[in-house]
Amino acid sequence: MSTDAVQDEQQFISDLYARLDALRDRAEGSVRQSVAQVGTGRQAKLERDVHVQEETARLAQLNAVESGLCFGRIDFRDGVSHHIGRIGMREDDAERTPLLIDWRAPVARPFYLATGYSPMGLRRRRHLSTRGRTVTDLHDEIMDLGDTTRTGHESRDADEVLLAALNAARTGRMADIVQTIQAEQDRVIRASHRGVLVVEGGPGTGKTAVALHRAAYLLYAHREQLARRAVLVVGPNPAFLGYIGEVLPSLGETGVLLATVGELFPGVAARGKDTPAAAAVKGSPGMAGVLARAVRDRQTVPEHVLEIVHEDHGVLPLDRASAEDARAAARATGLPHNLARPHFAFRVIDALTAGLAERLGADPYGGPNLLGADDIAQLGKEIATSRAVHAAIDELWPSLTPERLVAGFLADPLQLPEHEQALVRRVDGPWTPADVPLLDEAAELLGADDSAERAAQEAARQEQIAYAQGVLDVSAGSTTYEFEDEESEVLTAHDIIDAERFAERQEEADTRSAAERAAADRTWAFGHIVVDEAQELSAMAWRLLMRRCPSRSMTLVGDPAQTGDAAGCDTWQEILGPYVGDRWRLERLGVNYRTPAEIMAVAAEVRRSVEPGFEPPRSVRSTGAEPLVRTVPEGELVRAAVALAAERGARAQSADGGRLAVIAPAVLLPRLAAALPSASCGEAPDLTSPAVLLTARQAKGLEFDRVVVVDPDGVRGGSPRGANDLYVALTRATQWLGIVRAQGDAAGPPPAGE
Ligand SMILES: Nc1ncnc2c1ncn2[C@@H]1O[C@H](COP(=O)(O)OP(=O)(O)OP(=O)(O)O)[C@@H](O)[C@H]1O
């Protein structure tokens, strides 16, 4: 075996890291220098802040790509070679010669797609394995069969690097797959960003991995547009977001917003929990209409006559018919509730003014009203400024916040059918994730009457313009306009920018990243949205997400066979039909990279009980180890599960690392937690701990080296979509699966030997 090639690559890698260090030093120095700068004015300070923010982001990127910076090389038949890595890097020479090619660049594509049949101009493809900054192994694939040169590192198995990645012990944090993206995955990652792309595939087919790499790819390919509008990745729960949170930074992308739907209403922390039935009601498509009715129900009219006691003019009667007219006129504007409110108020004030004028100006001899237009206008003013009148308008057409409306609705959900009212009724208590789409819907229905805010903003803008004008005047005053020689006229700041533009330029210098600004703004329109476990989202959650993405540039990944949430959807058309009709594309991933064939066979049987003829994705590996099934009396489930976990968990703490999960029905968790004190559990378990205790729902999207599924019958019977939950639980293991089931368990997998 040739070590020359290793030495050559080591030299290259060492040089590469030296360059990385230099770039880091430069960025660090630049940040330090800027921070130390004493600004000489507002503009200078803003420019400094923007610069610091940019350089800090660059530094974060350079730090994040340290591990496995370069992982491949392609040699073309024409003699050209490129090293492929997490980011692109250039030499520090005058030509800025490319040193490392970003994996997303078109020229890197043969690294992922070339085959012996279709070598795409390649002579050889090399995978470099590194630990820290040291080259540990090379795997070469000869693509040009006529080429007889050998390096001594030719792989016997083309999938050697892939299998090593799949067999590696799990850490509790998802790793990127940039070194081993497969051709079918590459196609999805680089698909056009326009429109809605749905990526469907069974468990372990790499949907999450592909979705994250796609986000990184799109940011690379459409940086201008997407960095400005930001990319949002939506996941099912915070634990899952923690699990996938390191992938994008490791690909050099630190500016993507990761969030659950429950986190998408700025100012609201959804810490409460709904029962599945309550969440299903709150997520159902009919809720949009229900909330619209709740808003209309807050637009009231007096039963007969409302007597308003004016401070100066005594009782002003507002009769039902006048109030109804005002309400109809306000509704006819089609504006959201709070924006239509002034229209209602004007009508009411007009009606009250007319009534008062009629009273005060009545001619005792039956002639025309004695008041002139000016008198009536004066009366109108007195009514419009009356506290009592305002209180009455507020009562009839209150100004509402989303929080107030939804809290009021949940306390007394009259607009729902009776049997659903009891499910969602809540007088107090924290917001839940299922409330967030309702708050968002309410915000749309209510609209923000931001006239006062806009007036304040305009005042601030005028102030900035005045300030900018001052700056320009000072600069103009201290400049000699013309040289003696008429032709060499100097352009002053005044000639190239006016005060208004100058002020705007300062406004634009919001130093927060687009993702940070997006997180704080409910009305932000994202450049692209990626939704993972998309099958779990309710119809109401989709309404919220579609509002955040008017361009409909979206990637949805999921597997309807794994839907667990009662509010989740069964088909993509059901989700997408209302927004894009049938104008969406579907890509399927058909290879399971996680679950060995033996485990998948057991999981597929469970699936077939609800979907006869079901074919699972093809497992890329088989371990030769059948899942271990222990059948015990029902009262022994916990004891047996703990014993099995202890056997396997002990190994998880050994040198091979790896993680063990015990997945059980929620009712068994307290006893299991007491018996397995070292296992992490609860709402947000620490997935990096050697052993974790979870429900099947919590395990969705995650994976572990070893999994013990306890009481499969209990998991299946635990919810209307329990069969899907069991399927999820059985497909989480990368190496080994144990099942502890109760005697007489009809739903468990077929018995297998101990
Ligand atoms: N090309 C690849 N190279 C290396 N590992 C891969 C590749 N594709 C997928 N994997 C690995 O397979 C495992 C499953 O991937 P992932 O979690 O993305 O699947 P999924 O389809 O989202 O699964 P589920 O539907 O069960 O959540 C992960 O460990 C992932 O890193």
pLDDT digits (tens, 9 = 90+) for 138-149: 999 988 777 777
341 lines ligand 1 (CB under 6 A): no
Q: Cβ distance 284 to 539 under 8 Å?
A: yes
Residue 534 has pLDDT above 70, yes or no: yes
Q: Cβ distance 532 to 234 under 8 Å?
A: yes
Is residue 700 annotated as involved in ligand binding?
no
Condensed to tens digits (0 to 9), the pLDDT of residues 260-285 reads 999 999 999 899 999 989 999 999 99
Q: Averaged over 607-634, what is the pLDDT?
A: 91
The reported pLDDT for the residue numbered 617 is: 93
Q: CA-to-CA distance for 48 and 36, rounded, in angstroms?
A: 10
The reported pLDDT for the residue numbered 478 is: 42
Greatest pairwise CA separation for the chain in angstroms: 121
Condensed to tens digits (0 to 9), the pLDDT of residues 10-67 reads 999 999 999 999 999 999 998 888 877 766 677 777 778 888 888 888 898 899 899 9
Distances (CA, A) of 154 to 6, 9, 63: 13, 15, 32
Angle between helices 276-283 and 287-297 (to 10 degrees): 70
Is residue 119 annotated as involved in ligand binding?
no
pLDDT higher for 175 or 657?
A: 175
The reported pLDDT for the residue numbered 380 is: 94
The reported pLDDT for the residue numbered 656 is: 54
Angle between helices 722-730 and 597-608 (to 10 degrees): 170
Distances (CA, A) of 582 to 194, 542, 670, 734: 15, 16, 46, 36
The reported pLDDT for the residue numbered 291 is: 98
β-bridge partners, 200: 558, 588
Q: Which of the four pLDDT bands, split at 50, 70 and 90, describes residue 227? A: confident
Residue 443 has pLDDT above 50, yes or no: yes
Is residue 665 annotated as involved in ligand binding?
no
The reported pLDDT for the residue numbered 218 is: 96
Q: CA-to-CA distance for 466 and 132, rounded, in angstroms?
A: 56
Condensed to tens digits (0 to 9), the pLDDT of residues 646-689 reads 888 755 454 456 899 999 999 999 999 999 998 999 888 999 99
| Residue whose C-alpha is closest to residue 683's, from 417, 433, 478 | 433
H or E segment to which residue 516 belongs:
helix 514-519
Q: What does DSSP assign to residue 687?
A: T
Q: Cβ distance 163 to 157 under 8 Å?
A: yes
The reported pLDDT for the residue numbered 257 is: 93
Q: CA-to-CA distance for 261 and 241, rounded, in angstroms?
A: 12
β-bridge partners, 585: 197
Q: CA-to-CA distance for 222 and 129, rounded, in angstroms?
A: 30
204 lines ligand 1 (CB under 6 A): yes
The reported pLDDT for the residue numbered 31 is: 84
Condensed to tens digits (0 to 9), the pLDDT of residues 493-517 reads 444 455 555 555 545 556 678 888 8
Q: 4: how many CB neighbours lie within 10 A of its CB? A: 9
Structure-block tokens of residue 355 = 């009534």
616 lines ligand 1 (CB under 6 A): no
Structure-block tokens of residue 423 = 């499910």
727 lines ligand 1 (CB under 6 A): no
The reported pLDDT for the residue numbered 372 is: 87
Q: What is the mean pLDDT of the chain?
A: 87
Condensed to tens digits (0 to 9), the pLDDT of residues 294-317 reads 999 999 999 999 999 999 999 999
Q: CA-to-CA distance for 714 and 744, rounded, in angstroms?
A: 12
* pTM across the whole model: 0.86
DSSP strand E in 78-160: where? 81-85, 89-90, 98-102, 122-131, 134-142
Q: What does DSSP assign to residue 733?
A: E
Ligand 1 atom closest to the CA of 209, numbered from 1 = 18
The reported pLDDT for the residue numbered 686 is: 92
The reported pLDDT for the residue numbered 152 is: 73
Q: Tokens 């271990």 label which residue?
A: 628
Ligand 1 atom closest to the CA of 170, numbered from 1 = 29
Q: Tokens 């009782």 label which residue?
A: 315
Residue 94 has pLDDT above 70, yes or no: yes
Residue 96 has pLDDT above 60, yes or no: yes
Q: Averaged over 536-561, what is the pLDDT?
A: 93
Nearest CA to ligand 1 atom 26: 203
Exposed/middle/buried for residue 185 (C-beta within 10 Å: 0-12, 13-18, 19+): buried
H or E segment to which residue 28 belongs:
helix 4-36
Q: CA-to-CA distance for 285 and 544, rounded, in angstroms?
A: 12
- Of 95-99, 209-213, 320-324, 537-541, least confident by mean pLDDT is 95-99
Ligand 1 atom closest to the CA of 532, numbered from 1 = 22
Q: Cβ distance 60 to 43 under 8 Å?
A: no
Q: 266: how many CB neighbours lie within 10 A of its CB? A: 12
Mutate to test the pocket of ligand 1, among 177, 557, 592 (most ligand atoms within 8 A of CB): 177
Pairing of β 70-76 and β 81-85: antiparallel
The reported pLDDT for the residue numbered 481 is: 38
The reported pLDDT for the residue numbered 487 is: 41
241 lines ligand 1 (CB under 6 A): no
Mutate to test the pocket of ligand 1, among 159, 187, 531, 594 (most ligand atoms within 8 A of CB): 594
125 lines ligand 1 (CB under 6 A): no
Mutate to test the pocket of ligand 1, among 71, 593, 700, 727 (most ligand atoms within 8 A of CB): 593
pLDDT higher for 497 or 738?
A: 738
The reported pLDDT for the residue numbered 116 is: 83
β-bridge partners, 82: 74
The reported pLDDT for the residue numbered 595 is: 95
Q: What DSSP assignment string belongs to 50-96?
A: HHHHHHHHHHHHHHHT-TTSEEEEEEETTS-EEEEESS-EE-SSTT-
Cα of 718 vs its chain's centroid, Å: 29
| Residue whose C-alpha is closest to residue 119's, from 127, 111, 131 | 111
The reported pLDDT for the residue numbered 504 is: 54
Condensed to tens digits (0 to 9), the pLDDT of residues 363-391 reads 888 888 888 889 999 999 999 999 999 99
Residue 486 has pLDDT above 50, yes or no: no
The reported pLDDT for the residue numbered 490 is: 42
pLDDT higher for 678 or 489?
A: 678
The reported pLDDT for the residue numbered 754 is: 46
The reported pLDDT for the residue numbered 228 is: 86
Residue 213 has pLDDT above 50, yes or no: yes
Q: Which of the four pLDDT bands, split at 50, 70 and 90, describes residue 618? A: very high
Residue 119 has pLDDT above 60, yes or no: yes
Percent of the chain with pLDDT over 90: 64
- Of 3-7, 404-408, 505-509, least confident by mean pLDDT is 505-509
ipTM above 0.90, yes or no: yes
Ligand 1 atom closest to the CA of 202, numbered from 1 = 25
Q: Tokens 């201290």 label which residue?
A: 478
Structure-block tokens of residue 698 = 């919590």
Helices (H), 245-305: 247-250, 276-283, 287-297
In the chain, the amino acid numbered 234 is V
The reported pLDDT for the residue numbered 482 is: 40
Nearest CA to ligand 1 atom 16: 206
Exposed/middle/buried for residue 434 (C-beta within 10 Å: 0-12, 13-18, 19+): buried
